[in-house]
Amino acid sequence: MRFDLSDEEWALLEPLMPDGRKSARADDRKVMNAIFYVLRTGMPWRDLPERCGPYTTAYNRFNRWSRRGIWRKIFDKLAAKSRDSLHLIDSTIVKTHRAASGAKGGSKIRRSASAGAGAAQKSTRLLIAKAAR
């Protein structure tokens, strides 16, 4: 599949995998392929193809590793190998606040240029405020 890790990518990631547990564990490469497949496509965990194994294995491993900080360690080690690692940010990971597009401060009621030039006022708020004086 096009989302599967290449041999070169796996060679970088394999030494970063946490040590195995006492009990048998699912193949790390297969689970990593499943996790990256979900992350790249945005599909729900339950819709993982059968070739990836049980979705619960990938989901549980992803969450467990997130809590233990393993993903962060992997990222830090891989980023340290690249001289340009801090320049690899794209718009899919940059979030802004919903009010980020507005200007800060200033009057909430702004008069248009035509109102300043002597044209008749069309704002009901301003007319009500004048009538209340």
Q: State the pLDDT at residue 41.
A: 87
In a domain, 72, yes or no: yes
Q: State the pLDDT at residue 5.
A: 85
For the chain, how far is it from start to end, CA to CA, in angstroms?
Answer: 74
In a domain, 128, yes or no: no
Q: Which domain holds residue 78?
A: 7-84
- How far is CA 94 from its chain centroid? 7
pLDDT tens string 10-63: 888 888 888 766 566 778 889 999 998 998 888 999 999 888 889 999 999 999
What is the rounded distance in angstroms from the CA atom of residue 50 to the CA atom of residue 131?
Answer: 72
Q: Residue 103: is its pLDDT beyond 80?
A: no
Average pLDDT over residues 113-129: 61
Q: Helix crossing, 55-68 with 28-41: angle to 10°?
A: 90
In a domain, 31, yes or no: yes
Q: Which 3 state secondary structure label does DSSP give 17?
A: coil
In a domain, 118, yes or no: no
| Least confident among 28-32, 65-69, 94-98 | 94-98
Query: Which helix (H) or strand (E) segment is 127 a member of?
Result: helix 124-132
Q: Of 45 and 82, which is predicted with more confidence?
A: 45
Location of structure tokens 């009990």: 23
In a domain, 130, yes or no: no
**The total number of residues written for the chain in this structure:** 133
| Least confident among 41-45, 80-84, 86-90 | 86-90
Q: Of 96 and 71, which is predicted with more confidence?
A: 71
Q: State the pLDDT at residue 15.
A: 85
In a domain, 20, yes or no: yes
CA-closest candidate to residue 40, choices 92, 100, 103 = 92
In a domain, 113, yes or no: no
Assign residue 21 a region (left: φ > 0; alpha: ψ between -120 and 50; beta: otherwise): beta
Considering its fold, how many domains does the chain have in total?
1
What is the rounded distance in angstroms from the CA atom of residue 123 to the CA atom of residue 127?
Answer: 6
In a domain, 111, yes or no: no
Average pLDDT over residues 68-89: 76
Q: State the pLDDT at residue 113.
A: 62
| pLDDT above 90 coverage of the chain, percent | 17
